[in-house]
Amino acid sequence: MKKRVLSGVQPSGNLHIGNYLGALKNWVEIQYDYESIFCIVDLHAITVYQKPEELRNNIRTLAALFLACGVDPKHSAVVVQSTVKQHAELAWLLTCVTPVGWLERMTQYKAKAALQETIGDGILQYPVLMAADILLYQAHVVPVGDDQAQHLELTRDIAQRFNSLYGETFVMPETKLPAVGARIMGLDEPDKKMSKSATGAGHAVALLDPPEVIRKKIMRATTDSNPAVDFAALGAGVRNLLTIYQAFAGCTDEQIRSRFEGMRYGDLKKQVAEIVVESLAPIQQRYREITASPEYLDAVLEESAARVRPVAEATVALVKDRMGVYSRR
């Protein structure tokens, strides 16, 4: 039997090249080696307030982008998290074996909590719901960007704790980071991770940005006071541009060095902008085709949920049984 792969993205803003290089590109490359499930995690998105109409649109846009990036719905399930109710049900069951201290230590929780006066309980519980997404399908492999590695460690801790309290139940999921592009930085602030929620106009290249916008954002990217690429002293901004080029082009460190050593920053940026524009063009074209038929998207989402539901039901039944929660004799 094939092993299972699972990953997810929040429908909470514009998908950017960090999400693509850190996660989606990798999903598409490995999808046929596994039984694959890719989720649009709308229940995660509402841990911070979302305008309902925007959220509804973002869910559809994200589903269409998964397909446009190359997720093959004939092979891989594209699941909206809230349509398989066992995600939420398993999250509660796992909450009951998760110490609060583990959740309070999460970097993303601390960062979000620091920005707010009162913190929704959902923000604290966020990683338990993520653990539920993964453990619900007994996923072996979880391809994500670097920022999710800590949540994956917590998932394994929760699984281990459950297994030791109630007997072997969950598969231990493995984190799979891409070799290049696991952490793409903001173009305007190369010391910060590129993020969907950042507001700066030149921060991120969105997958649906038109070519002239992509060029403008990359030409304005922050570099440093050197005039040209010097591999002995790479600043964070230049390193980030080289990583973006390398991840899209799929070339080696050696090829990057020989192509760009000594190149002036203006020329480097032009080459980076062109490879991003070229790589996103077919994705944007497929996106337009997919969104031209909304019924097709609904059919994919419904068929995917129906396909994975039996696995979700079986896991929740097993977990409830292990815990002694009521079931009919």
Give me the residues that bind ligand TYM (CB under 6 A), please.
6-10, 18-19, 21-23, 41, 44, 130, 133-134, 142, 144-145, 147-148, 182-184, 193-194
CA neighbor of 184 nearest in space, from 5, 13, 25:
25
Q: Which is nearer to ligand TYM, 150 or 263 (CB)?
A: 150
With the C-alpha atoms ordered 306, 167, 170, 1, is the resulting torsion angle positive or negative?
Answer: negative
Which residues does 214 contact at the CB level (< 8 Å), separation at least 6?
A: 205, 273, 276, 277, 280
Q: How far is the CB of 170 from ligand TYM (least distance, A)?
A: 14
Helix-strand-coil split of the chain, %, nearest 5: 60, 10, 35
CA neighbor of 191 nearest in space, from 224, 219, 218, 163:
224
Q: Which is nearer to ligand TYM, 36 or 267 (CB)?
A: 36
Q: Which of 25, 176, 196, 269 is catalytic?
A: 196
Q: Which is nearer to ligand TYM, 115 or 292 (CB)?
A: 115
Q: Which of 193, 216, 270, 320 is catalytic?
A: 193
Q: Give backbone dihedrals phi and psi of 220, rounded to 5 degrees, phi first.
A: -95, 0
**Number of Cα atoms under 13 Å in the Cβ half of residue 42:** 21
Active site residue 193: yes
How would you classify the pairing of strands 174-176 and 141-143?
parallel
Q: How far is the CB of 326 from ligand TYM (least distance, A)?
A: 28
Q: How far is the CB of 160 from ligand TYM (least distance, A)?
A: 17
Q: How far is the CB of 27 from ligand TYM (least distance, A)?
A: 9
How would you classify the pairing of strands 174-176 and 77-80?
unpaired
Active site residue 196: yes
Q: Residue type for 198, please?
A: A
Q: How far is the CB of 293 from ligand TYM (least distance, A)?
A: 26
Q: Which is nearer to ligand TYM, 121 or 295 (CB)?
A: 121
Distance separating alpha carbons of residues 63 and 228, to the nearest angstrom? 40
Q: Which is nearer to ligand TYM, 18 or 190 (CB)?
A: 18
Q: Indicate the residue whose CB is closest to ligand TYM.
A: 22
Q: Which of 25, 112, 176, 269 is catalytic?
A: 112
Q: Which residues are catalytic?
A: 112, 193, 196
